[in-house]
């Protein structure tokens, strides 16, 4: 499989190179040259398969030329062996129409583990064949950072510089990052929002001086391999609920548009999806973009679902690429305008290419109501991000015979103060997190903007001799 940039002028890459690359050299994001298709029979054949085998079948076309099926199977077996549930990603029924896809049984209790446990192993495999020393620069609103650090701590050939917005993530999220003390892990708190951190990451990929000195790479959903791994659970869950004969809808709590874009990829591959509901909190740029074509950046508001406090959604560019007929130079011009003006108007023609999506903006009261509904009706304590997805699912106009699966993206104990405020119940951290709240923390605060971040990376990243 070959990968092309959404902005049309970066070199095409193999799966191995795209995994190690991060952002494309023209500032775009890599996507497969074309979407592989599964026949309805091939989808039906997924019934009864375990998570690892489903992963091998779905990812095979994407890794072709870089990994064999057997190599992928070994990595997936190790990756999902670290999950605390035998089904890896179980599905729980809430009522006749609503289901939860529990994505939080990995080591850091959020859906990010599903992709990062695999990505860490892909890095190890590909680096074993090369002399490269990677400098990973990342931005997190709490969950990508913890999952990446757990997947990569201690790796010889990888240094990780992970920025989070100081004071704007939960105590559990922070500690999951800062208590992982390893020589290759650098936790950096920045004064600002997740968007500021993500902007630093993107700027560094375009910084010639940093690129000359360091082999930069990414663990955010900039990295195609992250999304590939997330496509798997849409197939796995839909087949369990009757696909391909029965269409399923998904409601996805959304911030950087990675998770829901993975659902879109599943649909392009042939999975019969009735609808993808994009659920945002009050940071609603994606809701405005999909409902009225208004993709304009507002200021980030802190909410009880901090992982979704995002205004500039990286992966929306991947959807725009398809929406404009894969016209790379055209999209490059559009994105240059967006980066300057902080606004983009999406034409009716382009919107017509995105009819699979609807969207909803969920305010704090609606979030709390959904959280309490799940607790009262089904005895399920859910986290605020999941509650936003569930609120959007319950507001949808889908007929009762269409199952709606809400992606449960985090364990409630990751956001226990917010859950307690909304429900009165305080979720317990699973035992496997042990003495998380008592361990020593290590984190540097970056005072200043991009230059201060670049100085820190320059002073601490290892370069191979
Ligand atoms: C718990 C949780 N839910 C939802 C999201 C939104 O996912 P995405 O950024 O892929 O849209 C995030 C952050 O990415 C998250 O950490
Ligand atoms: N919510 C995310 C934000 C980063 O998103 P990513 O999917 O691009 O890594 C987080 O928890 O860090």
- pLDDT tens across the length of the chain (465 residues): 999 999 999 999 999 999 999 899 999 999 999 999 999 999 999 999 999 999 999 999 999 999 999 999 999 999 999 899 999 999 999 999 999 999 999 999 999 999 999 999 999 999 997 889 999 999 999 999 999 999 999 999 999 999 999 999 999 999 999 999 999 999 999 999 999 999 999 999 999 999 999 999 999 999 999 999 999 999 999 999 999 999 999 999 999 999 999 999 999 999 999 999 999 999 999 999 999 999 999 889 999 999 999 999 999 999 999 999 999 999 999 999 999 999 999 999 999 989 999 999 999 999 999 999 999 999 999 999 999 999 999 999 999 999 999 999 999 999 999 999 999 999 999 999 989 999 999 999 999 999 999 999 999 999 865
Q: Which atom of ligand 2 is nearest to the CA of 138?
A: 9
Which atom of ligand 2 is found nearest the CA of 164?
A: 12
Evaluate whether 193 touches 78 at the Cβ level (below 8 Å).
no
Concerning whether 202 is annotated as a catalytic residue, the answer is: no
Strands, DSSP E only, in 112-246? Answer: 134-139, 158-165, 185-190, 215-217
d(CA 44, CA 339): 43
Report how far residue 231's alpha carbon sits from residue 41's, in angstroms, rounded to the nearest whole number. Answer: 18
Q: Residues 6 or more apart from 185 whose CB is under 8 A from it?
A: 149, 152, 153, 160, 162
Provide the 10 A C-beta neighbour count for residue 74.
15
CA of 141 to the centre of ligand 1 (A): 9
Give Cβ neighbours of residue 90 (< 8 Å, ≥ 6 apart): 102, 105
CB 76 within 8 A of CB 55: yes
Instruction: For the domain covering 91-109+226-423, report its CATH number.
Output: 3.40.50.1100
Going from the Cα of 307 to the center of ligand 2, the distance in angstroms, rounded, reads 7
Question: What is the pLDDT at residue 61?
Answer: 98
pLDDT of residue 434: 83
Q: Which ligand does the CA of 177 lie closest to?
A: 2
CA of 307 to the centre of ligand 1 (A): 6
Among 112, 202, 247, 414, the one annotated catalytic: 112
Phi, psi of 103 (to 5 degrees): -105, 15
Pairing type for strands 91-93 and 273-280 reads unpaired
Bridge partners (DSSP) of residue 31 are 4
Contact between 140 and 272 (Cβ < 8 Å): no
Of 316, 128, 137, whose CA–CA distance to 215 is shortest? 137
In this prediction, residue 203 carries a pLDDT of 97
Query: What value, to the nearest 5°, has the Cα angle with vertex 173 and ends 167 and 179?
Result: 100
Query: Which phi and psi (to 5°) does residue 117 adopt?
Result: -65, -35
CB 231 within 8 Å of CB 273:
no
Pick the atom of ligand 2 nearest to 194's CA: 3
Name the residue with the closest Cα to ligand 2, atom 12: 140
Report the relative pairing of strands 158-165 and 134-139 from DSSP bridges.
Answer: parallel
Alpha carbon of 259 to ligand 1 centroid (Å): 7
154 vs 159: CA distance, rounded Å: 9
CA distance 458 to 210: 8
**According to the model, what pLDDT value does residue 465 have?**
57
Non-local (6+) Cβ contacts of 81 within 8 A are: none
């Amino acid at each position: 499989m070959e990968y092309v940039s959404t902005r049309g002028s970066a070199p095409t890459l193999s799966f191995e190179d795209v995994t190690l690359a991060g952002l494309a050299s023209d500032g775009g994001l890599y996507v497969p040259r074309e979407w592989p298709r599964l026949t309805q029979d091939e989808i039906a054949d997924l019934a009864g398969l375990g998570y690892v085998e489903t992963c091998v079948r779905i990812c095979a076309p994407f890794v072709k030329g870089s990994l064999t099926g057997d190599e992928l199977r070994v990595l997936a077996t190790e990756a999902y062996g670290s999950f605390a549930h035998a089904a890896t990603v179980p599905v729980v029924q809430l009522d006749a129409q609503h289901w939860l896809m529990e994505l939080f049984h990995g080591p850091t209790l959020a859906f990010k583990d599903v992709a990062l446990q695999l990505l860490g192993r892909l890095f190890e495999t590909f680096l074993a064949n090369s002399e490269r020393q990677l400098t990973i620069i990342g931005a997190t609103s709490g969950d990508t950072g913890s999952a990446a650090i757990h997947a990569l701590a201690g790796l010889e050939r990888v240094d990780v510089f992970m920025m989070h917005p100081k004071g704007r993530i939960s105590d559990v999220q922070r500690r999951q990052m800062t208590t992982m003390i390893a020589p290759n892990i650098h936790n950096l708190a920045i004064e600002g929002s997740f968007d500021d951190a993500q902007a630093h990451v993107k700027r560094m990929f375009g910084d010639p001086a940093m690129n000359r000195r360091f082999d930069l790479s990414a663990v955010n959903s900039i990295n195609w391999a992250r999304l590939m791994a997330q496509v798997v659970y849409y197939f796995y869950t839909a087949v369990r609920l009757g696909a391909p004969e029965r269409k399923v809808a998904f409601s996805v709590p959304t911030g950087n548009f990675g998770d829901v874009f993975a659902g879109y990829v599943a649909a392009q591959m042939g999975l019969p999806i009735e609808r993808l509901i994009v659920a945002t909190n009050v940071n609603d740029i994606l809701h405005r973009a999909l409902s009225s074509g208004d993709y304009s950046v507002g200021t980030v508001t802190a909410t009880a679902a901090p992982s979704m406090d995002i205004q500039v959604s990286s992966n929306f560019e991947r959807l725009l690429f398809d929406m404009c007929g894969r016209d790379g130079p055209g999209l490059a011009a559009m994105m240059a305008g967006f980066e300057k003006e902080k606004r983009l108007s999406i034409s009716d023609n382009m919107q017509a290419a995105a009819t699979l999506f609807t969207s909803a903006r969920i305010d704090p009261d609606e979030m709390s109501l959904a959280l309490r509904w799940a607790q009262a009706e089904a005895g399920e304590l859910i986290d605020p991000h999941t509650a936003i997805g569930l609120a959007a699912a319950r507001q949808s106009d889908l007929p009762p015979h269409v199952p709606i699966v809400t992606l449960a993206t985090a364990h409630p104990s990751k956001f226990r103060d917010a859950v307690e405020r909304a429900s009165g119940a305080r979720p317990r951290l699973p035992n496997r997190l042990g003495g998380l709240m008592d361990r020593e923390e290590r984190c540097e605060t970056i005072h200043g903007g991009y230059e201060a971040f670049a100085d820190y990376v320059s002073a601490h990243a290892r370069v191979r001799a």
